[in-house]
Structure 1
């Protein structure tokens, strides 16, 4: 996805966990869409950071949506994914995307990957990999108009 692209719809989702949201539901809110996989160790290591941001910036109206992107046939087993969502206390909406419909809509190739959208639903920042967390938070503060 290119910067300033419109947020894609969440369509053809295998299953939603913690409630379903649409692009329209998120309008007017900054949104972080986080791609992760159960078989990705780095992803699991960063999940607590995502939870921390969800809580830390909720008063700034940040919305977070997780997308589980399977990287192998084993990753498509839904129960272990749900157990991981519960274990890591991912209380925000989670998409289980076994057909890669959302992955394809976002043109995403990586886990972990972070897509940050502004209140108008325009992509303001993309980051992938473990080292991207600090950069994502800096951009998040900018989108939320929070001074350091």
Structure 2
């Protein structure tokens, strides 16, 4: 959703933040302002944010419900629908929300589960993108 299908080649040599989430999860909703801020702030510097919507309950499996949630919250970054937990299982993920930050070489540089530690994730994003702390977009006050 929110984009044409992304290929591996489009993600190669890019800093990518993957987020496993579902719209019915209160913790996922609580991290949303931070996730949106990172996208808005760092996409111009090359950050690719890919949210992987993996439903926990049947009502979260409806693509129209996901689209409505995205529209209500003005979420514009790419969202992959994973209703059968194919990606979830491939990544051996077990939690919502879960973040995986990969560098431009494709190496996992940071993993975080749950809420909090937003300043640490933002610092890691800035370091990988080589955004100076004094940049107008760099702010740990998300």
TM-score range, shorter chain: 0.7 to 0.9
2:92 counterpart of 1:139 = no
CA contact (8 A) 1:66 1:93 kept: yes
Unmatched segments (≥5 aa) in structure 1: 1-15
Q: Aligned partners of 1:101 and 1:134: how far apart in 2?
A: 31
For residues 4-47 of structure 1, give each alpha carbon's deviation from its aligned partner in whole angstroms, at most 9, with x where no partner exists: xxxxxxxxxxxx44321122211111011111111111211222
Q: Which residue of 1 aligns with 2:50?
A: 65
In structure 1, the partner of 2:36 is 51
Q: Is the contact made by 1:18 and 1:93 (CA closer than 8 Å) also made in structure 2?
A: yes
* Distance apart, 1:76 and its partner CA: 1.2
Aligned residues: 133
Q: 1:117 to 1:33 in 2, by over 3 A?
A: same
For 2:90, the equivalent position in structure 1 comes to: 105
Unaligned runs of 5+ in 2: 134-142
1:144 deviation in Å?
1.4
The alpha-carbon distance between structure 1 residues 130 and 120, as it changes in their structure 2 partners (threshold 3 A), is: same
CA distance in 2 between counterparts of 1:89 and 1:27 reads: 27
SS at match of 1:74: helix
CA shift at 1:146, angstroms? 2.5
- Asked which structure has the greater RCO (Cα within 8 Å, sep 6+), the reply is 1
Q: Equivalents in 2 of 1:113, 1:133: separation in Å?
A: 13
- Partner secondary structure for residue 138 of structure 1: helix
Aligned to 1:88: 73
Question: What TM-score do the two structures reach when normalised by structure 2?
Answer: 0.85
Q: Given that residues 31 and 118 in structure 1 are in contact (C-alpha distance below 8 angstroms), is that contact kept between their aligned partners in structure 2?
A: yes
Question: Match for residue 103 of structure 2?
Answer: 118
Offset at residue 82 of structure 1 (A): 1.1
